[in-house]
Structure 1
Amino acid sequence: MKSIQQLITFILIFIFLVGCQTHSGDLSGTKPVSSNDFFAAFPPIGLPITIVDTNINSFADTTVIGIKAMSQFIPDSILNHFHLNKKAIIHPVGSIQKLKEKYLLANFSYKNNTILGVFVFNEKNEFLAAKNLVQSKQNDGYVHSVYINKEPTFLISREKYSADKKLLYTRTGWVYNSGNAFMVAMNDGNEDELKNNTIINPIDTLPEKNKHSGNYAKNSKNFIAIRDGKTPKLYHFFIHFENKDNCNGELKGMMKMVGEDKAVYKEIGEPCSIEFTFKNNEITFKENGKCGNKRGIQCYFDDTYPKQKSHKIIKKKRT
């Protein structure tokens, strides 16, 4: 009975010592690191998993890996994208084992900034590819995250709410391919759509010091911007309008004052002509020539807009 207890004790001690030997290798990089010690430092990750920029450090192991140790398995040219600084501290986050590849995730931290990266190795523990996934400190107003499924696909996202409480988001799914590189597998988002729906004023940055310069608008979809020309009698203008019948018009040009409060737009060789009248802090514009190539068929440049206090109102998004 005693011999059996001694045998069990011996086996337990042996297992403990083997375990310690496996995980207690020197990972500082001051001397060669065995591949067994290096890869053992990355525990398996349960998938799926989501890592957000605000909790990126909570997923890391307490083990510290020296940059010199990492460079024994990953080229310096790749690590330079993650170093942040030569004093960066590297913590293993975990590993994903597939049939032909192994993915290692690690945090690179310096001061208050941390970058999470993924590194791919083949069956022979040879480096194949790498990609940065999420960063803790970007200060751009977005919440950044990465969602990793069992394939694995790395879905990198950024989200924020606009001033009018709309969720703006961009999501890109990345996968490793056989060409030893990460490729985009999917794109999703609404930011490009919203940007395409933004009315851009092309003369917005020009000076507006002269008498009639400024912005005149009914709302963000119906406005005219007027800016200083080369002389007090010349003004740059940009008109944009959208009416209820889904008839839109847009025109950029130069108007010339022909009286104290009247101006005209007329380009040589073009039939389009518009008359402008300034009165009571408003502008009235009326189409006198054919401007059909600048607007819809069933609508005209013909309206009155009040002058605005600030031209900042012009940059609005369409709904």
Structure 2
Amino acid sequence: MKRYLLLLLTIGALAACKSNKKPGKGANEPMTFEDFQELFTPGTLPYKLNADSLQLKMADSLAVGAADVSRFLTDTLTQGDYSKTEKVKLFPLTRIQGNVTNYMVIKAVGRTQTTGYLCILDKKGKYLNRLRIANTGSADGAVVFTSIDSKNVIKISSEKKLSGSNTALREDFYAVGKDGTAQLIMTNSNGPTTPGQIFNPIDTLPRKHKFSGDYTAGDMNLISIRDGEDAKTFQFFITFSKNNGSCKGELSGRGHYIAGNRGEYKDKESSCGIAFQFSAGRVTIREVGGCGAYRGIKCFFEGNFVKKAEKGPRKGAKQQSTQR
């Protein structure tokens, strides 16, 4: 009788161990999205991710498989920050329900640097976009951290030590739409303005489309075009400085290609619109409607910009043209 009871207890223990096995990590049943999101600690807005929190060491057993991240979120999560050959561990941090979209925060740990990513999902759990929101150990010595307020405004801060005890701080504020697009709405910076040193928030996105690339008109005037979620859309970032720096403007968002070599952007929050005209190695922009919220009162989003020659293979040339 004792042997029989011992056998039953052993079978029960084995069954319990099997039931506690993480789906997607050797179990017979594949991981579901519900299983995947349970790996993230529930959080609320407002939310902060600073350098100290990012650098906290986590047990390897808490890492999530890259295949699961690719299946439920994106296969280009670490693109632009880590090489394809570098071994990167991914750790699920926090999941947050926002007013417009939901968020999942993932930490990537590489050989020399650690990066935090904010994955944006719709209310049904469909992946829409990702933002690089935190980083330590980068080659330029900058430390990146972020906060999200209760109104879903994302502030990404980059702090870099200068000579002595001086530091340069740049703060970029983004508003997130229902479609996952993150629009740059304001920038604060106390760092030096050096000709040719423009921070481009979409620089690492794929540029496979024939019109994708960087267009310039002087040192501090840039139109950056990157691939959109499909062949009919594109991501853009515009920054300019006119009249010896007395009038500046900055705008980012998602545009649509229309007939021929034209594109257009319409701001959902105002009457601001931008018309794009692409030609061989050039783009011309014209302001349509009032874009005063994004520029000085004595200048406009307008002018001709020349495409910069790219060095080496185009970024994202072997990647899918969608930002995932």
Query: Which structure's residues are more often helix, by fraction?
Result: 1
Q: Which has the higher contact order (CA 8 A, sep 6+)?
A: 2
Q: Which has the larger radius of gyration?
A: 1
TM-score per shorter chain, which class?
0.3 to 0.5
What is the TM-score normalised by the length of structure 2?
Answer: 0.46
- Provide the TM-score with structure 1 as the length reference: 0.47
